[in-house]
Amino acid sequence: MKIELTDTDVGALITGVDMNRLSDDEWKEIYNAWLDRLVLVIRDQEFSIEQFLDQGRRFGTLKPHRVRRTRHPDYPELTQMGLGTKTVTGKVDDAVYNRGLNWHTDGPWDTEVCKATQLYALEIPSSGGDTLFANMYTAYDALSADLKRRLDGLSVEYVYGGRTRQGIGLLEPEDRDLPPAVYPVVRKHPETGRNSLFINPVHFLRFVGLPDKENDELASELFNQLAEPGAEYRHKWKAKDYVIWDNRCLLHAATGGYPINEKRIHWRATVMEK
């Protein structure tokens, strides 16, 4: 097994290992690398659906995504990304094709903590379709001392789609108006003990206890400080890539831009804290 670090402060590439046949020592090394580098790319993996889901269970408890329309009919914990991107009329379903194009972390609208997300690439287009990752430890460290003091003890409410309800059409009617989830803006990682900035522009509703004007001003200030120089990794996908990232201290964004007539198919699973 070989672990190579990216030239930024986030991301590691692992080769020469079969995730289905890990020794205990190899698993410990992989998990520690994940905590240190926040996102792992493990090349050339072969998974059945059951094997893919078993990888997520190493990290935590799997939970079906709130978007039901992309769940596998026999394995609800598995989200099928890139299938069914056209409606019955043959037109592109923009809500699916454009999903995830802005900086976000997965599941902040869930009252249970979303620990990680894992993706497995089945088919990759000839161009485009990269994924960006940004280190929120670094984003927090870069804040001024005054701003850190202002954020201390402050909480934020999240709902699916945020204030504009972006992508709400992906949800079933009964899932669209659930109560908001509340999280601290400065989040202490339960395993590393490090502080990170936890702010999600896509699903942001409001800071708890702040008047509207101050809410808007603080949100704008933080949204402009998410991707610090040297703290961002751009992943160019290859078929059979297995990628898992830590939602507690990392933001990600899809870049889109791939030919609409080409397939970009991934399996996805959401990992919750045990």
- Classify residue 78 as exposed, middle or buried by CB count within 10 Å of its CB (0-12, 13-18, 19+): buried
Count of other CB atoms within 10 angstroms of residue 214: 12
Q: How far apart are CA 187 and CA 136, in angstroms?
A: 10
pLDDT of residue 221: 95
- CA distances from residue 107 to 13, 46, 66, 269 in whole angstroms, order as listed: 25, 27, 9, 12
Looking at the chain, the whole-number percentage of residues with pLDDT higher than 70 is: 93
Span 213-231, average pLDDT? 91
Percent of the chain with pLDDT over 90: 81
Q: What pTM was computed for the model?
A: 0.92
Which of 65, 100, 42, 108 shows the shortest CA–CA distance to 248?
A: 108
Cα gap 241→259, rounded to integer Å: 20
Residue 89 clears pLDDT 50, i.e. is over it:
no
- Whole-angstrom distance, CA of residue 82 vs CA of residue 109: 23
Q: Is the pLDDT reported for residue 246 higher than 90?
A: yes
User: Domain range spanning residue 55?
Assistant: 2-272
Mean pLDDT of the chain: 92
Q: Are 68 and 172 in contact (CB under 8 A)?
A: yes
Helix axes 24-37 and 49-59, enclosed angle (nearest 10):
70
Instruction: Please give the pLDDT value at position 87.
Output: 41
Residue with more model confidence, 255 or 197: 197
Q: E strands along the chain, which residues?
A: 2-5, 12-15, 39-42, 61-63, 79-81, 114-123, 131-135, 155-158, 181-184, 186-188, 195-197, 204-207, 232-235, 242-246, 250-254, 265-272
Cβ atoms of residues 263 and 86 within 8 Å? no
Domain count, the chain: 1
Q: What is the pLDDT of residues 141-194, one digit of tens each?
A: 999 999 999 999 999 999 999 999 988 988 999 999 999 999 999 999 999 999
Q: Could you tell me the CATH number of the domain that includes residue 255?
A: 3.60.130.10
